[in-house]
Amino acid sequence: MGGKFLFDGRPVPFEEGQTILQAARAAGHYIPHLCWHPDFPPHGSCKLCVVKVGGRHVSSCALPARDGMEVESNTPEINGERRALLQMLFVEGNHFCPSCEKSGNCQLQALAYELDMSSARFAHFYPDRPVDASHPDVLLDFNRCIFCELCVRASRDVDHKGVFALTGRGIRKHLVVNAESGRLADTDFAVSDRAADICPVGVILRKRVGFAVPIGERKYDEASISSVAMEKGE
């Protein structure tokens, strides 16, 4: 049984089983997200899609819509929380946008612009994460991993290879390659895999492409991440 809820004061219809994020998107309202992807079930780990419902902060990608809900999303309080989450993601990894080949196509960077993040605010962790360049076609730069697990899910559920996994807990959590050597070259990973194109940041990169498309002419250089998401469904 569907119904309607109020999204930032505007009525949004939903169908039975839709989450707040799905129903809001269908009605043309953008909610920021990183670990959520339209082709995969909700994951609820990045918390960028946080909204306020009945005084509680909840993940809109995971919470089913209910009739009569009042949802606050684009408010200073909620956007401030999202910005703080982004700032923590930035300092946990090594995100050096000026020389990153994903610049302009990176959802983390695009969301930072979208949410007016102007500084890192917190002390950088500067983790030591060597890259894996063993594969002939794909480079893994773990410095930029935000633990969304999209590559883990794509490789496991779509490619049926299980190439990636997260290991460790808390502050020691990190992305690993499922091979005894830990090297991508020792898996059956292929550049044509769904997992090769799913990374929202700059971890999984096709080799030797780099800056072939000029900075300034990339997806999020030309339009904000909210308009790309709503107009192209990405």
Beta strand ranges found along 169-213 (DSSP E): 174-177, 204-206
CA dihedral 140, 228, 15, 43 (to 10 degrees): 20
Stretch near another protein under the rule CB under 8 A, chosen from 47-55, 78-86, 119-127, 201-209 = 201-209
- In the bound state with another protein, the residue whose beta carbon lies nearer, of 61 and 203, is 203
Q: Binding-site residue total for another protein (CB under 8 A)? A: 19
Least distance between another protein and beta carbon 147 (Å): 22
Residue 9, sorted as left (phi over 0), alpha (psi -120 to 50) or beta, turns out to be: left
The identity of residue 192, as a single letter, is S
Q: Which of 126, 96, 62, 125 is nearest to 201 (CA)?
A: 96
- Length of the chain in terms of residues written: 234
- The residues with which 140 forms a beta bridge, in sequence order, are 132, 204
Which of positions 42-61 make contact with another protein (CB under 8 A)?
Answer: none
Cβ within 8 Å of residue 155, ≥6 positions away: 161, 162, 163, 164, 189, 193, 194, 195
Stretch near another protein under the rule CB under 8 A, chosen from 55-63, 152-160, 164-172, 202-210 = 202-210
Instruction: Output the six-digit token pair for 117.
Output: 């993040």
Least distance between another protein and beta carbon 85 (Å): 27
> x/- string (CB under 8 A) for another protein, residues 204-233?
---xxxxxxxxxxx----------------
Examine residue 191 and tell whether it contacts another protein (CB under 8 A): no
- In the bound state with another protein, the residue whose beta carbon lies nearer, of 55 and 130, is 130
- In the bound state with another protein, the residue whose beta carbon lies nearer, of 39 and 222, is 222
Distance CA 20, CA 3 (A): 12
The identity of residue 218, as a single letter, is R
- In the bound state with another protein, the residue whose beta carbon lies nearer, of 161 and 183, is 183
Distance CA 10, CA 70 (A): 9
- In the bound state with another protein, the residue whose beta carbon lies nearer, of 10 and 207, is 207
Least distance between another protein and beta carbon 191 (Å): 14
Which of positions 98-157 make contact with another protein (CB under 8 A)?
Answer: 98-99, 101, 130-131, 133-134, 139
Q: The dihedral of CA 47, 48, 53, 56: what is its sign?
A: positive
- In the bound state with another protein, the residue whose beta carbon lies nearer, of 96 and 122, is 96
- In the bound state with another protein, the residue whose beta carbon lies nearer, of 46 and 100, is 100
Which residues would be at the binding site for another protein (CB under 8 A)?
Answer: 98-99, 101, 130-131, 133-134, 139, 207-217
